[in-house]
Structure 1
């Protein structure tokens, strides 16, 4: 079996279930009493996304900042080793540095936007994602907790160091470029009016539900059927069909675990591709490469290739197999992999699995500072 991209700064944690049973016994095997087995999740999956382990008393920040595609702007950079922020991904922060806290306060007075940039090998990545502040909790002048969300991709043009020691980057906002419908110019109108896209743009007024049912029963033609008029077979065009790519990725996730709830995932191709990139347990390099791609279709194709080829998760340090993808399950509405911050301010990406191999546990299970309350 081929190995999935190795873990980078991801740690496995052991804790006790609500019933008092240990999730991992003395031999390192998962306790069969764990309610998560067989897809039975009794935990409130909305709690991790709220990051209530940080605070229950957040000061919400209203409004949203959107920058035009191609816009050049200067934003402060917060370097986070081992984290590649994707658009739509939640990022919690626990700040202790005076300069970082001053930077957040400065952003709140302006457009609430900064950047969480990965600094692999002590060098800033050339691409990144803007982070918009959603809520803050200032406990005192020395401690601040922040909830942010990734918004827009950007390219780093150059950087400078300000007087407070904060990196200021001049960046260019990058757009997502969707490929045009190559078959539309040659698709005859007799076929076009029966396609799903055409039907979605038409407005009908029916007086009875019976007529609506009749219309709904009319089969819709695939717009790619027009490929018979070209020299290329339909499967060539299917490779760039966002709907089919998204369906294949959803099927792959269901193969991991049938209990995955995919009803809450984004339906827009670009947002869906970012959600997948933030859900897959990839290393920094692969995630940065996905973030660099400016076409949703191509990003989805790369993600599908990765999911089909990789079946085992391995330790970044020793290369030992840690878990099978079929052992992955989700305890969060965001998906099986989430970003959290510990009391020391270190940001982690945590993946939940039913069973793990080649691990050694230290100490007794504890609910202290749990990222999964209750």
Structure 2
């Protein structure tokens, strides 16, 4: 009987939607609706702080769900690599990140069973798994993502009709190993918790572990020093140092994965591309002498080549500090022994102890990237101080990924990136590249990034659930274009208290794009704003 009632309700809803589709579209541009008087916005398109009277904390509380009871239970984080079974929620159009809030209106009996099981399970109580599902654009078949996020049940309430209102919060990423439906119809899955990497300051580790001047080809200075008896002891000492440096190089490279080693090698080759052997260099008889002759310089004869290798340390691209150009030029005219006797070999040790220059390491330093991403985010969204998140690059990367105004497929891509620095770099690229928000179906420009509006304390993008249990992730904008209004404004079950909502479709292809929210109180500001579904936003960067 319960199933029949739910099916009847769903059929009635579909009939109502069809009737709305048959109605004549009421296309109204934002500029026509918006009262521009007193509309003073800063360069990012946001209104001044004293212009708003809406309390954006209300939206993050999801008050439309009614009273929900706190579970008073906080889940401890699971160890990386842990394998366990969890009830799974498969949600279309939703990508859940750690620390993000996800409200649920649980109506279907099988998902009600899944929540009840999560409340009592032993391995991970009050925990469910959330996986994004999507339709294959080629054949329309449902596809399941392999990476999801565990969600902790923070609040819930059982209603008289047996349904549940639930508020959850993202915890940890996981791999979905396998999935099934149990005997009670509840969706379940075997998941493996992903081990997150620890944000480190790359330069300190890299410079401390890598010996100086070590690069492919191994130019060791001990081998190019003059080998007469007066310097035998010095040469022996230098050989010992170079052996330790070579071992350090090998240990550094052995610790890299195959992909990292290829990237490392390409950058090293590029950085030292100018340090190649001159075509006029004469080939020597032994392998050691061949490697020695690869130092830069102009050598035309065998004897002259040996002398120049001994007498010109500047050919190794080393800054000798106090050695002036005139000293180096006069050095070429002196005997090799006297030249090296006057050279302070300690100056070589003052060169950077790394394969790459310092700026390369900063490109992948989690903390440097976090500062850059936070600065860009503040410029775009106008968020308050993010210093606490900058100190935690992993949480910052998840925060931006969960709020950035891009399509759900792009945010799923961000969820699947393992390295903190790689995720931050991708987010910086997106923040730089995203300008226009376009319809996924027909590419009509709907809004601009500069028109983003923060109507929730959690950011310009958030998840909300309607009375029928459908979860929508929406971006909020100060103004939008090319949208058609469908039907009348409705105040009931509004995600933003004090605002009525009106369904909006793309005026070109009639795809459901979101809602227009209009204030029901004349003292409430902003007077209106738009909510655009992230699932209907184009994947491309514009």
TM-score over 0.5 for the pair: yes
Q: 2:417 aligns with which of 293, 302, 314?
A: 293
The answer on whether the counterparts of 1:280 and 1:337 sit within 8 Å (CA) in structure 2 is yes
Q: 1:78 aligns with which of 76, 86, 89?
A: 89
Q: 2:389 aligns with which of 266, 270, 275?
A: 266
Q: 1:44 aligns with which of 55, 62, 65?
A: 55
Alpha-carbon separation, structure 2, partners of 1:265 and 1:94:
33
Q: For residues 103-118 of structure 1, what are the structure 2 equivalents within 5 Å?
A: 103-110=114-121, 111-118=125-132
Relative to structure 1, is the Cα distance of residues 233 and 341 closer, same or farther in structure 2, using a 3 angstrom cutoff?
same
Partner residue in 1 for 2:469: 345
In structure 2, stretches of 5+ residues that fail to align are 1-27, 40-45, 136-141, 210-349, 499-542
Partner residue in 2 for 1:247: 371
- How far the C-alpha of 1:56 sits from its partner, in A, is 3.1
Relative to structure 1, is the Cα distance of residues 58 and 357 closer, same or farther in structure 2, using a 3 angstrom cutoff?
same
Alpha-carbon separation, structure 2, partners of 1:292 and 1:276:
14
Tell me the alpha carbon deviations over residues 235-255 of structure 1, each in whole angstroms, 9 at most, x when there is no partner: 211111222212222222233
Bigger helix share: 2
- How far the C-alpha of 1:285 sits from its partner, in A, is 2.2
The answer on whether the counterparts of 1:91 and 1:149 sit within 8 Å (CA) in structure 2 is yes
The answer on whether the counterparts of 2:461 and 2:474 sit within 8 Å (CA) in structure 1 is yes
Alpha-carbon separation, structure 2, partners of 1:322 and 1:61:
42
Secondary structure of 2:179 counterpart: strand
Q: 2:426 aligns with which of 280, 302, 323?
A: 302
Q: For residues 36-185 of structure 1, what are the structure 2 equivalents within 5 Å?
A: 37-39=47-49, 40-110=51-121, 111-121=125-135, 122-178=142-198, 180-184=200-204
The answer on whether the counterparts of 1:133 and 1:146 sit within 8 Å (CA) in structure 2 is yes
- How far the C-alpha of 1:368 sits from its partner, in A, is 2.4
Higher Rg: 2
Alpha-carbon separation, structure 1, partners of 2:497 and 2:463:
15
Moved more, 153-162 or 60-69: 60-69
Secondary structure of 1:160 counterpart: strand
- How far the C-alpha of 1:26 sits from its partner, in A, is 7.8
Alpha-carbon separation, structure 1, partners of 2:413 and 2:354:
33
State the superposition RMSD in angstroms.
2.5
- How far the C-alpha of 1:305 sits from its partner, in A, is 0.9
- How far the C-alpha of 1:230 sits from its partner, in A, is 3.1
- How far the C-alpha of 1:187 sits from its partner, in A, is 5.1
Partner residue in 2 for 1:277: 401
- How far the C-alpha of 1:302 sits from its partner, in A, is 0.8
Tell me the alpha carbon deviations over residues 222-281 of structure 1, each in whole angstroms, 9 at most, x when there is no partner: xxxx98443522221111122221222222223324x43344973411111111111012
Secondary structure of 1:313 counterpart: strand
The answer on whether the counterparts of 2:453 and 2:460 sit within 8 Å (CA) in structure 1 is yes
- How far the C-alpha of 1:149 sits from its partner, in A, is 0.6
In structure 1, stretches of 5+ residues that fail to align are 1-23, 189-225
Relative to structure 1, is the Cα distance of residues 34 and 149 closer, same or farther in structure 2, using a 3 angstrom cutoff?
farther
Alpha-carbon separation, structure 2, partners of 1:85 and 1:339:
9
Alpha-carbon separation, structure 1, partners of 2:161 and 2:486:
35
Secondary structure of 2:441 counterpart: coil
Partner residue in 1 for 2:535: none
Secondary structure of 1:168 counterpart: strand
Secondary structure of 2:455 counterpart: coil
Secondary structure of 2:487 counterpart: coil
Moved more, 27-36 or 323-332: 27-36
Provide TM-score, normalisation by structure 1. Answer: 0.77
- How far the C-alpha of 1:71 sits from its partner, in A, is 0.4
